[in-house]
Amino acid sequence: MFRRRTPAWGVPPLAAVVAAVVWAVATASGAELTARTGGGLREVGLVDVVVAGLVVGLLGWAARALLRRTTGDGERTWLVLCGAVLLVSLAGPLGAATQEAAGFLVAEHVAVGATIALGLRREVRRTPRGRGA
């Protein structure tokens, strides 16, 4: 069976789409995605989640490329880094205005994080240039 793989450059846009889908499900269910900021509340909109998915995806792609250059493989390091970044990012949804919003925002962070971690993980399985056949 032929499986088509997303190239590394396609992971950031895919992460943005995943974020948009989770946002759409949340808003379709009637959830108000609001978070506490400074002295008030801020609505988390579609543009917010799409831009965040793209930016985090691009940063992940850069980090993955750096790990490949410096370690040659770095698969375990990549997954540990992804886990650490995900844990830190989960502090954001803790500031949600409601438990429902917090649940959807946590789901969004996990979905985007998994997309980036797994989408870029397979890049390590290729033989590095100059080594092997």
Residues in the chain, total: 133
Domain ranges of the chain: 8-125
DSSP symbol at 96: B
CB 131 within 8 A of CB 112: no
pTM as predicted: 0.84
Kindly give, in sequence order, each residue whose CB lies less than 8 Å from that of residue 43, ignoring residues fewer than 6 positions away: 32, 33, 34
- Model pLDDT for residues 27-76, shown as the tens digit of each residue: 999 999 998 887 888 899 999 999 999 999 999 999 998 988 888 768 88
